[in-house]
Amino acid sequence: MMKPGDTLLVATRNAGKTREFRAAFAPLGVEVKDLNDAAGVPDIEETGDTFAANARIKAQAAADATGLPALADDSGLCVDALGGAPGVYSARYSGGGDAANNDKLLRELAALGREPVRVVSREGEPALRLLSPARFVSALALCEPGAGERVAAEGEVEGFIADRLLGAGGFGYDPLFYLPEYGRSMAELTMEEKNAISHRGRALRMLLERLRRE
């Protein structure tokens, strides 16, 4: 188990992910840094064909480059109507950033010409069309320098892709990912709500529990 005062490197430059990891490890007194804090770490090529493989590749490369235990997440969106795409290519789906990825996803779904799987009323807004079932998947791997994978975990959450962006929170595909049980998108949840039910939050709780058992 990691101890208060330990430092953990998160193998990401994504500020949104770093905030979530810091919130998860704060109760343990563990200092969380990311690749923006670490000099000399080269870009890590994600060559795996699964989320778990890419998480291991990133964590091990970051650990070996810095000498710190490193935690990596590989996560993405799997949309039923698109045969599971964008999947492991979620972050680089469009070749641009979050806005371009969301735009491409909506275009790809519109091109299918399918009727929505559900229509939801939203007070004071046009009806919301849910275009396809989908799920967010997160795989985590924690690796030690030169020693390989120490612990790993996976989590997922199911929802639907909405026909428009909802909310200003979160990042990535969060504004399009609608959760019927909340009546909101992932981007409309508070940080506490999101961490409680998100794919990454579920994977983190599993990983922390496995660390406690060591």
Provide the annotated binding site for Mg(2+).
45, 74
SS3 labels along 94-139: CCCCHHHHHHHHHHHHHHHCCCCCEEECCCCCCCEEEEEEEEEEEE
What letter does residue 89 receive in the DSSP assignment? Answer: G
Indicate which residues carry an active-site annotation.
74
Residues contributing to the annotated binding site for substrate: 12-17, 75, 171-174, 194, 199-200
Contact 110, 132 (CB under 8 A): no
Residues contributing to the annotated binding site: 12-17, 45, 74-75, 171-174, 194, 199-200
The DSSP bridge pattern shows strands 31-34 and 70-79 to be: unpaired
Gap between the Cα atoms of 118 and 183, Å rounded: 13
- For 101, phi then psi, to 5°, come to -65, -45
Before 133, cis peptide (omega within 30)? no
